[in-house]
Amino acid sequence: MAKMKLYYSPSSPYARKVRIVAMETRLDKKIEMVNVALTPVAPNADVDKHNPVGKIPALSVKGIDLFDSPVICEYLDNQHKGRRLFPRKGRDRWVALRLQAMADGLLDAALLARYEGFLRPEEKRWPDWSKGQMKKIDGVLDALEAEIRTLKGKPTIGTISVICALGYLDFRFTSHDWRGKRPKLAKWFAAAAKTPSVKATVPPPN
């Protein structure tokens, strides 16, 4: 396999999903990492060349550029011989993909809240928007607490996505106490955080 190139940032939670999957599938040595910085109002020309949506992560493989994170993760999961992180079929697959969608949905809301509160000029911020996004974040957290059994067992793309989502809250929403009313989720995350691939990809301090 030709060397792959991953456009990422150490603080991107979506790129963290890919980096964890790369380590879990032992493909990390075959990936050249390209560290880039961008926001929706300050794009990166190099990233734009590989992903017209202008977002990271983007994976450049021989002859094709892949995005977004679910596509890259599934692609990597098809390039190794170990246990699959994307269950191939049946209910396990839908449970894992649904969990990924929940975690990515939390992240989409968290990023929008972050852009609203930090990127946008102060006088143009709209509290209702931030409130709406925070409601989505809390909705997902409550659902995860209620169905904690879904998270048990060996890692899947679903549990990896949840780890990256919770890790992002700890990184960028330190004042949002998500653990208080969700002891089961907090306990699960504390255990999951000890995994080497999770520890190796913790976002750097600001």
Would you tell me which residues interact with a copy of itself (CB under 8 A)?
39-41, 43, 48, 51-55, 64-68, 70-71, 74-75, 78, 89, 91, 94-95, 97-98, 101-102, 104-106, 108-109, 120-121, 123-126, 128-129, 131-133, 135-136, 139-140, 142-143
Please tell me whether residue 8 adopts helix, strand or coil conformation.
Answer: strand
Least distance to a copy of itself, CB of residue 200, Å: 26
Residue with tokens 């450049």: 60
Please tell me whether residue 200 adopts helix, strand or coil conformation.
Answer: coil
Question: What is the dihedral angle through the alpha carbons of 130, 205, 71, 25, rounded to the nearest 10 degrees?
Answer: -150
Least distance to a copy of itself, CB of residue 100, Å: 8
99's tokens = 């969990």
Q: Which is nearer to a copy of itself, 120 or 184 (CB)?
A: 120
Cβ–Cβ < 8 Å for 167, 16? yes
Least distance to a copy of itself, CB of residue 153, Å: 17
Q: Which is nearer to a copy of itself, 8 or 75 (CB)?
A: 75
Q: Which is nearer to a copy of itself, 143 or 195 (CB)?
A: 143
Least distance to a copy of itself, CB of residue 25, Å: 16
147's tokens = 């169905």
Largest Cα–Cα distance in the chain?
Answer: 53
Least distance to a copy of itself, CB of residue 196, Å: 28
Task: Read off φ and ψ for residue 42, nearest 5 degrees.
Answer: -140, 75
156's tokens = 């899947």
Q: Which is nearer to a copy of itself, 39 or 200 (CB)?
A: 39
C-alpha pair distances (Å), 161 with each of 41, 42, 49, 184, 206: 26, 26, 26, 17, 22
Q: Which is nearer to a copy of itself, 74 or 170 (CB)?
A: 74
